[in-house]
Amino acid sequence: MNKLIVLNGIQGSGKTTLGEFIAKKHNFKFIKIDTFYEKVPRVDNQVEWFEDIEYRENVYDAFEKAITDSLKESGVIIEATGVDKRFAGLVENLKKHNVRMIKFLLKIDEDLAFERVTDRNKTDHPIKVTEDDLKYVVSKIDELDTSGYTIIDANQAAEDIYRDVLNYF
């Protein structure tokens, strides 16, 4: 039975850093939903991407297919800022694939998250998010049904976050 690790949290909480580290250390496949937002063609360019419902469904369908295909071969880590019902539904749907699912919600102070996002924007992998965007996501993450999630304090160094997560393997 392969493991499926779900990393959820706001931008700047350390999902990518943690996911890449675990994937490398444990030979897991790391799949980020953001990759699919870049690959899947838009359906309606007249509206903002988050209002393009068909596009978002296509993204989630591609994301789920990549996850289920990868689970046939190895453990998988998925990362998303999953603040909507569609992400919750996807995670619920993945339970039927005979996996050991471990869900983490990385909680971080909003100011530290924005500092990390600002620092990351100076790298080759910028996060296109404004302070207002981050505040919106923070408000939504606080509404998230966290039942089944292990809450991880992401206000610490990446090595310490990994050590906390490792306790649940």
Number of domains in the chain: 1
Q: What is the pLDDT of residue 47?
A: 80
4-14 b/e (C-beta count within 10 Å ≥ 16 → b): bbbbbbbbbbb
In three-state secondary structure terms, 81 is coil
> Given pLDDT bands bounded at 50, 70 and 90, which one contains residue 26?
very high
Percentage of the chain modeled with pLDDT above 70:
95
> Given pLDDT bands bounded at 50, 70 and 90, which one contains residue 18?
very high
Please tell me which residue, 16 or 133, carries the higher pLDDT value. 16
At 59-106, the pLDDT tens digits run: 999 999 999 999 999 999 999 886 677 888 899 899 999 899 999 999
Residues of the domain holding 133: 3-166
Amino acid at 101: M
The domain that contains 67 carries what CATH number? Answer: 3.40.50.300
pLDDT, mean of residues 3-17:
91
Across the chain, what does the average pLDDT equal?
A: 87
In three-state secondary structure terms, 151 is strand
Which one, of 93, 99, 127, 98, lies nearest residue 113 by Cα?
127
Q: What is the pLDDT of residue 82?
A: 67
CA–CA separation, 49 and 58 (whole Å): 12
